[in-house]
A and B are shown apart, each in its own frame.
Chain A
Amino acid sequence: MADRLSSDLLRPVFQTSRKYYALVVLLGGIVLCGLGAWGYQVYYGFGVTGYNWPVYWALHETNFVFWIGISHAGTLISAILRLVNATWRRPVTRCAEIITAFALMIGAMFPLIHLGRPWLAFFLIPYPSERGIWPNYRSPLVWDFFAINTYLLASLLFLALPMIPDFALIRDRATGWRKKVYGLLSLGWQGTPKQWHRLESAMHIMALAILPIAVSVHTIVSFDFSMAVVPMWHSTIFGPYFVAGAIFSGIAALIIVMALLRKAFHLEGYLQPLHFENLGKLLLLMSLLWGYFVFNERLTAWYGNSPHEMNVFWSTQTGAYSPLFWTMVLCNFVIPFPLLAIRRLRSVFTAVVASCCVVVGMWLERFLIIVPSLSRKSLPYAWGSYTPEWTEIVIMIASFASMALLYVLVSKVVPLISIWELKAGDQPRLGATASVHETEAAGELR
């Protein structure tokens, strides 16, 4: 049983089909187009985008917040599931942690892409300088720099730690150069009880540490907006609102990725309907929470009736941005809520449909936070609007393609489902008490 499991899950690492290469070429081509579009923007000037006065932040910033939000899929969810010891998490955690690492890398590209002079981006780094010019620590963009780098480092560690036993497994099965590479990656893993103990403690520490980091990261991203005295930005609700939205879109992305992996690598036996149902319940909870936050945000703005805020408010409720706003409500609440809440409707398919809606809806939410406020700032003379040009649209499509490409490439490096954790679930290694505890925890979540 355990051996079939290994060979099932290791198959993508050792065998490569022709379709695989075709997919890599296709995705790589789209990513190259995106890099080309960025090069075009840098070479000819930012004017090739649709940006204008006063909408100085638009699609690039939307994608930045969106991808940082998606990154909360992983680490946060897998950390919570690890800490509450939910046994059903075992096949899910690695998929989620990989999303986190890649979404963060992609998200962190956008602050570079959005710069007027990206070749000077190193000004943000507090490098030793005899001139004594340091970054301005009062700027939320500098907070971003530290928050995102901390989160990236932590989530890479959190991703790499549980990979060690699987690297060792590949090392033991591989030959030639692979054996050498995985020998290095597995850091001398022999599977001794001492090593297991250390791995588990390290993962427990990381799981605890990463929760506050993840919460702070998206709070700080929200500070980019809420710190500025711009109508509908300057709001205390933004921190938790952004974090809730991030987890919401993160779970949705995880469900979509799991469904794709399930089909592509024939993992129906490992990623079961149970996993989709449990993640669907989490998604339902976040949908409710999201609806609650939006209601709060809108109600307080409307009731407060400040003229500056009302201009933005009505532009999203009934004005130029209202089609996008109501599509967002449809995608984030009206469609997913019944699909996930009604038991008879629950299935892998409906979970994926709901998730696709949520990803679209959460992207729109980021856009609707940024653009309407900037196009309706305090002085009516300076009002404007924004329509994207092909440049930023191509870059955006390429960001999605690079997520897919990185995922496809990593499937050759490491099993996408943690083999040793699945095995540990099959044959409880920690003794009877632990397994009883795990069953209880699983029962509660079910």
Chain B
Amino acid sequence: MAHRWGMAVDLDRCTGCEACVVACHAENNIPTVGADEAARGRAKHWIRVERYWEGEFPDARLKFRPVLCQQCDNAPCEPVCPTYASSHTSEGLNAQIYNRCIGTRYCANACSYDVRFFNFFNPVWEKPLHLQLNPDVSIREQGVMEKCTFCVQRINAGKITAKAEERELRDGEINPACAQSCTANALVFGDLNDPDSAVSRLSRSSRGSKLLEELGAQPKVTYLGRETWQESGDPRRG
């Protein structure tokens, strides 16, 4: 059976440490743009930890929500791309084909989760940072959109290994950089087509909900939390 990759994000476990963000940058060759450009809104974080405050000081509480591409089944970014740069893979990923992208940025406008990023300049790594680049991930040039891939290079590598060893993929064998680095195990990745996988079990949890579910994009990331979130950022008391 074909795979259908998905993720569960446990908001009750997330500590907001942002290790996932750092790991994602390192794994996927995402350049840092510097303080000035970041202040202008040009930072590229394929995964980000959104922070929302509730209540007034001194009873204020801080809540974290890691947001990455939701790999929607009914992705609004895909039909709007004039060149099929944004397209669906057979395993349900929203792939971004850099070579086809001409940079209309329409996909980013159509995406309700704001998880697509535009390369405003050619990426630069100051020496010796260029030595840390991941050889399995292509570098994106100026004018191209990029986004979370669920670390497709790791998915492919895992599949190749399993095939070489003539066995089925095991649950938990493949992990994107963010899930791998999450100390609190808040991010769980796996195959949604396997009903016994950890991610499938978590996705069925009564604590689960989808981000902006009402927009009908059918995301494959499930958020778990005792309190449900409102899109305005104020959590509804559960």
Asked whether A228 and B109 contact (CB < 8 A) given A124-B82, A139-B79, A378-B231, the answer is yes
> By the criterion CB–CB under 8 Å, are A381 and B67 in contact?
yes
- Shortest distance from the beta carbon of B147 to any chain A beta carbon, whole Å: 12
Complexed CA–CA distance, A111 and B100 (Å)? 17
Q: What range describes how many residues of A lie at the interface?
A: 35 or more
A141 and B143 CA atoms in complex are apart in Å by 17
Q: Which chain B residue has the least Cβ–Cβ distance from A44?
A: B121
B192 proximal to A (CB < 8 A): no
* Interchain CA distance A380-B231 in the complex, whole Å: 8
Is A378's CB under 8 angstroms from B50's CB?
Answer: no
Q: Which residue of A lies closest to B87 (CB)?
A: A136
- Interface of chain A, main secondary structure: loop
Tell me whether A45 is interfacial, beta carbon within 8 Å: yes
Given B48, B120, B217, which contacts A51 in the complex, CB threshold below 8 Å? B120
Query: Which B residues are in CB contact (< 8 Å) with A142?
Result: 82
Expressed in whole angstroms, the minimum distance between the Cβ of B101 and any Cβ of chain A is 7
Task: Known A51-B120, A139-B82; judge A228-B67 contact (CB<8 A).
Answer: no
Pick the contact of B142: A46, A53, A55 (CB < 8 A): A46
Whole-angstrom CA separation of A384 from B67 in the bound complex? 17
Summarize B's interface: helix, strand, loop or mixed: loop
Q: Does B160 contact A (CB under 8 A)?
A: no
Give complex CA distance A388, B43 in Å: 18
B118 touches A56 (CB 8 A): yes
A307 at the binding interface (Cβ < 8 Å): yes
B103 CB contact (under 8 Å) in A116, A136, A145, A381: A116
B79 CB contacts on chain A under 8 angstroms: 136, 138-139
Is there a chain A Cβ closer than 8 Å to B159's Cβ? no
Provide 26 A-B residue pairs closer than 8 Å at the C-beta atoms, listed in order of the A residue. A45-B121, A53-B117, A56-B118, A111-B104, A114-B105, A123-B82, A123-B83, A123-B100, A124-B83, A124-B102, A133-B100, A135-B82, A138-B80, A139-B79, A229-B110, A229-B112, A229-B217, A230-B109, A377-B112, A378-B113, A378-B215, A379-B50, A379-B114, A380-B232, A381-B52, A381-B67
Going nearest first, the 8 A-B pairs with the smallest beta carbon separation are: A116-B103, A116-B143, A47-B120, A52-B41, A382-B114, A56-B105, A45-B121, A117-B143
B residues with CB within 8 A of A: 37, 40-43, 48, 50-52, 65, 67, 76, 79-84, 100-106, 108-110, 112-114, 117-122, 141-145, 211-212, 215-217, 230-233
